[in-house]
Amino acid sequence: MAFTFNQDRELDIITIGRACIDLNANEYNRPMEETMTFTKYVGGSPANIAIGSSKLGLKAGFIGKIPKDQHGRFIQRYMNEKGVDTSNMVVDTDGRRAGLAFTEILSPSECSILMYRENVADLYLEPSEVNEDYIKKAKILLVSGTALALSPSREAVIKAISLAKKHDVKVIFELDYRPYTWHSQEETSIYYSLVAELSDVVIGTRDEYDVMENLASPGNNDETMKYLFAHGAELVVIKHGVAGSYAYEPNGTVHHGQAYKTNVLKTFGAGDSYASAFLYAIISGKDYETALKYGSASASIVVSKHSSSEAMPTVQEIEQFIRDRS
């Protein structure tokens, strides 16, 4: 069964939520307290997905709030340069700042992120700052779990979803669970479940679904998809790391995509690159198995490079990567 959406829309995808600053360690295999130099990039899952989508040739837009300072100007300029429409990016005038993410690369499997998320502009996007005329220009609205962590951002996202459903814009929920932005797993579960039940496509890791379902032990894919299909989901994508990813359809069809081996430098950025390439494939009319391949290949490319946003691959790079490993 094919995934369908309105073709006569000006934008392929609008993402909503977090845009912040990533400061990635230049010195590998070293704890952060001994790291002296970092390189600055734009970060934040929905910002990265918009950038990745644009780099793949999609027409991408972004809704979010940035600070009225040097970091905010850097974020907006960078996203514009990458082809993302930022006409609905809102500038905060109350002195809030951009979130900062310092990364530590101890080894390919030992990476950590030190986050500064107090009083950050992106979590203060107001419902009144979500424009109905802008939402209805898109084929797809992608929402990210982190934007649900605090009011008024969570209400702004829920309003955006309501407008998307009003105008037949498909809603994609990328779980993007970041525990440091939440008070408890139970709180996360409440809002994740609310949004998942309103979404057409849900994408996340098995661990993220366990949080959504408020489970103390690993959950079951069959139970997850039954729950989401009962609420009208058209597709459920569950990622299992090195075991690959699965896409489930309501008619019982299951698709599996392999994980590709690569020279891993760091572990962050994989989910954002996976989502942008997977969605590029389905927007381009490719089948689900091809979309899973594109997502996995894109994730493997990004974890082999220093940045997340800057490392987002082109279609040609993804297709060459797949050919080289077929």
Give the pLDDT confidence of 11-22 residue by residue, as tens digits. 999 999 999 999
pLDDT tens-digit map of 125-184: 999 999 999 999 999 999 999 999 999 999 999 999 999 999 999 999 999 999 988 999
Environment class of 285 (CB within 10 Å of its CB; exposed 0-12, middle 13-18, buried 19+): exposed
**Are 267 and 255 in contact, with CB atoms under 8 Å apart?**
no
Q: Is the pLDDT of residue 283 over 60?
A: yes
Paired with 66 in beta bridges are: 91
Q: What is the mean pLDDT of the chain?
A: 95
Its CATH class, for the domain covering 11-324, is alpha beta
- What pLDDT, in 10s, does the model give residues 81-137? 999 999 999 999 999 999 999 988 887 778 888 999 999 999 999 999 999 999 999
Q: Where does the pLDDT of residue 236 fall: very low under 50, low under 70, confident under 90, or very high at 90 and above?
A: very high
107/45: higher pLDDT: 45
Alpha-carbon distance of 136 to 164, in angstroms, equals 7
Answer yes or no: is pLDDT of 70 > 70.
Answer: yes
pLDDT in the model for residue 268: 75
DSSP string across 82-122: TT-B-TTEEEE-SS-B--EEEEEEEETTEEEEEEE-TTBGG
Q: Where are the domains of the chain?
A: 11-324
Residue 251: exposure state from Cβ atoms within 10 A (0-12, 13-18, ≥19): exposed
Give the pTM. Answer: 0.97
What does the pLDDT read at residue 1?
55
Q: What is the spatial distance between Cα 187 and Cα 151, in angstroms, rounded to a whole number?
A: 13
What is the per-residue pLDDT for 262?
85
Confidence band, pLDDT 50/70/90 cuts, at residue 38: very high
pLDDT exceeding 90 applies to what percent of the chain?
A: 84
